[in-house]
Amino acid sequence: MRDTRRTRLVLVVLLVVALALIALDYSDGSNSALRSVRNAVGDVFGGAEHGTGTVARFFSGGSSSASQVKSLQEQVVKLRAELAGAQLSKSDLQQLRKLLLLAGAAQYRVLAASVIAVGTGYQQTVTVDVGSSNGVTTDETVLNGEGLVGRVISVTPSTATVLLADSRAEVVGAAVAPSGQLGSVTGPGVTASGSGLMRLQMLSSAAVLKPGQELVTSASEHDRPFVPGVPIGVITKLVSVNGALTEAAEVRPFVDFTALGIVGVVIVPPKHDPRFSALPPLPHPGPTVTVTVTARPRTAAAGSSPNPTPGG
């Protein structure tokens, strides 16, 4: 009785509904009804996701009967929570400072946000805790103190969903640092290691790449979806593909996409193209050279006197 006709009927109905939803969303992504449902559910779950971290901090043990003990325990809990908050904000502060430095160097106006949820399965998306009520709209660039994080693909009043730059579906226009040659960077997708290497494909066959060159985003039309000048990564290896007309390379992203904390949404693009000003200073191989230089005379001195005992 329990799993006979009625159950199957319910099952079929539910499956049909699910398929209908998929078809609806597939054919018309901007369906207003679906979007409003998404917004509503996003509000609820976004609030819950936002609150989870906060609530977790106030987790405490059992209570006692005596009121005095209870109040003291509450104090302890409160102080502990404050301490945890302070410690948390310390690391947040670090990230925030770096973000502001980058934004300041490139003249972006950013809206700081924190990542509150991560997409399931093969969705390389995260949710941040700012939304349309904060002025965020879709196709805005998201970055953190290290570099490019992604772009906003959907917005609810209180949350925004960010498609990460290391997604396989994402193609970012890039400029190679010193020369300004253009190419496109594609994400590695989901990998077992969690952080794969991006793939750079140059547009011009005349472009010449070298390992160690850094990439920034190139200008997009109306600065959407990517504002210019956001650091992407550094070329680690050139890839030669047989028959390819243009050069390709593997790029290690600056951002660790599995450990996102504080990010910034660029709500006002820079007036002028910041070019490469936001890139971290290039590391110079100088120090090792000086060490070897200072080491040589010593070995030379040692070689000049192969028998120290009789000489000394």
Residues near another protein, by CB under 8 A: 1-4, 6-7, 10-11, 14-15, 17-22, 24-26, 34, 37-38, 41-42, 44-46, 48-49, 52-53, 115-127, 154, 156, 159, 161-162, 167-169, 189-194, 258-259
- Min separation Cβ 135 and another protein, Å: 18
- Min separation Cβ 295 and another protein, Å: 41
Closer residue to another protein in complex, CB, 50/275: 50
Closer residue to another protein in complex, CB, 67/193: 193
- Min separation Cβ 119 and another protein, Å: 4
Q: What is the three-class DSSP state of 294?
A: helix
Q: Residue 195 in contact with residue 180, Cβ under 8 Å?
A: no
Closer residue to another protein in complex, CB, 162/175: 162
Tell me how far apart the alpha carbons of residues 114 and 160 are, in angstroms, rounded to a whole number.
11
Q: How far is CA 132 from the centre of its chain?
A: 20
Closer residue to another protein in complex, CB, 69/241: 241
| Both structure tokens of 156 | 């609810």
- Min separation Cβ 37 and another protein, Å: 6
Closer residue to another protein in complex, CB, 15/79: 15
- Min separation Cβ 5 and another protein, Å: 10
Length of the chain as a residue count: 312
CB atoms under 10 Å from CB of 125, counted, come to 17
- Min separation Cβ 106 and another protein, Å: 26
Tell me how far apart the alpha carbons of residues 292 and 301 are, in angstroms, rounded to a whole number.
15
Backbone dihedral angles phi then psi of residue 111, each to the nearest 5 degrees: -115, 115
Nearest Cα to Cα of residue 162 among 191, 185, 140: 140
Closer residue to another protein in complex, CB, 35/80: 35
Closer residue to another protein in complex, CB, 24/69: 24
Pairing status of strand 109-118 against strand 182-186: unpaired
Nearest Cα to Cα of residue 203 among 186, 218, 182, 220: 182
- Min separation Cβ 157 and another protein, Å: 11
Q: What one-letter code names the amino acid at 120?
A: T
Tell me how far apart the alpha carbons of residues 199 and 192 are, in angstroms, rounded to a whole number.
17
Residue 60: enclosing H or E segment and its boundaries? Answer: none
Backbone dihedral angles phi then psi of residue 205, each to the nearest 5 degrees: -75, -15
Closer residue to another protein in complex, CB, 4/307: 4
- Min separation Cβ 44 and another protein, Å: 8
Tell me how far apart the alpha carbons of residues 2 and 176 are, in angstroms, rounded to a whole number.
65
